[in-house]
């Protein structure tokens, strides 16, 4: 989920009503200078009633889209940040699932091995001594050692069974935890195709924004020349493109909301 970056060419146009003083936008290239505002006011004053009405109406509509655009940007940024924080926290939580329990079971395996190590060492040593006594053909020593080894056989078997039980308990717990983690991560994987959609929509927005710059330049030229029809001709496509961008950003909001829902589902799967 990459952070959404607003285009200076479109998203930062904040202007007052036509009769208000000149306003400076965030992007210098879209700035309405005092002279431009004055020219616009003169053009409206000198235009026909129909043209003046259309210019005011379309210009206000354009400003409305810019305000909506600003709102979408704020919502997208907030949702994105929230999703990143929640997903990061959840991934950390996933890694810690049953961590204490698994560590305890693994420690019990280690303790069991250490606990029976002297017994196994003694049993191994006896069997080596039995082999040495056999080679020496010392029947009495061999018999005594075998007696001792036989006496340890059952304790050794029980010790091995105990260690095996501890190992199986640890392994089963690890397998169960691994399956739980896999399930949760599988749920989070549903975010990936949504991010692909978001990326595509951002690309579409950038493409649309590219068309804004020449139109804005044409609008400024029309204002400078006092060309009422030129102003209207520029505003119409500016409104259309602004509407498209707003629609795409609204879709991004919905996609980010879906991501929020997926994260919530995944979080609910954490034991």
Segment 68-99, tens digit of pLDDT:
988 999 999 999 999 999 999 999 999 999 99
Spatial distance between the Cα atoms of 69 and 30, rounded to a whole number of angstroms: 15
pLDDT digits (tens, 9 = 90+) for 256-268: 999 999 999 999 9
CA–CA gap between residue 198 and residue 178 (Å, rounded): 31
Running DSSP on this structure, what letter comes out for residue 30? G
Q: What angle do CA 40, 44, 47 make, to 5 degrees?
A: 130
Residue 230 to residue 213: CA distance in whole angstroms: 16
Torsion of CA 169, 175, 181, 185, to 10 degrees: 180
The string of pLDDT tens digits covering residues 132-150 is: 878 878 888 888 888 898 9
DSSP secondary structure string for all residues of 184-202? HHHHHTTHHHHHHHHHHHH
Instruction: Please give the Cα distance from 49 to 143 (Å, whole number).
Output: 124
Q: What's this model's pTM, rounded to 2 decimal places?
A: 0.75
**Cβ neighbourhood burial of 14 (10 Å; 0-12, 13-18, 19+):** middle
What are the tens digits of pLDDT across the range 155-165? Answer: 999 999 999 99
Where do the structural domains in the chain lie, given as residue ranges? 28-96+187-268, 101-177
SS3 content of the chain, % helix, strand, coil (to 5): 85, 0, 15
Rounded to whole angstroms, the Cα distance separating 43 from 56 reads 11
Chain segment 226-252, per-residue pLDDT in tens: 999 999 999 999 999 999 999 999 999
């Amino acid at each position: 989920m990459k952070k959404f970056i607003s285009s200076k060419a479109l998203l930062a146009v904040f202007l007052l009503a036509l009769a208000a003083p000149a306003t400076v936008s965030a992007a210098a290239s879209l700035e309405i200078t005092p002279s431009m505002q004055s020219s616009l006011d003169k053009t409206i004053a000198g235009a026909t009633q129909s043209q003046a009405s259309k210019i005011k109406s379309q210009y206000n509509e354009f400003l409305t889209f810019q305000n909506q655009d600003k709102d979408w940007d704020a919502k997208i940024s907030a949702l994105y940040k929230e999703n990143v924080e929640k997903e990061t926290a959840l991934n950390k939580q996933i890694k810690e699932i049953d961590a204490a329990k698994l560590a305890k079971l693994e420690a019990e395996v280690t303790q069991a091995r250490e606990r029976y190590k002297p017994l196994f060492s003694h049993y191994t040593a006896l069997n080596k001594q039995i082999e040495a006594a056999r080679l020496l053909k010392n029947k009495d020593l061999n018999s005594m050692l075998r007696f001792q080894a036989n006496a340890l056989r059952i304790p050794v078997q029980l010790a091995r069974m105990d260690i095996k039980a501890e190992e199986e308990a640890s392994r089963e717990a690890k397998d169960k935890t691994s399956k739980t983690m896999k399930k949760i991560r599988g749920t989070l994987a549903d975010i990936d195709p949504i991010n692909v959609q978001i990326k595509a929509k951002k690309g579409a927005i950038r493409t649309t924004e590219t068309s804004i710059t020449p139109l804005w330049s044409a609008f400024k030229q029309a204002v400078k020349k006092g060309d009422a029809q030129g102003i209207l001709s520029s505003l119409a496509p500016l409104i259309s493109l602004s509407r498209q961008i707003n629609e795409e950003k609204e879709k991004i909001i919905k996609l980010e909301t879906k991501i929020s829902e997926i994260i919530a589902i995944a979080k609910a799967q954490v034991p």
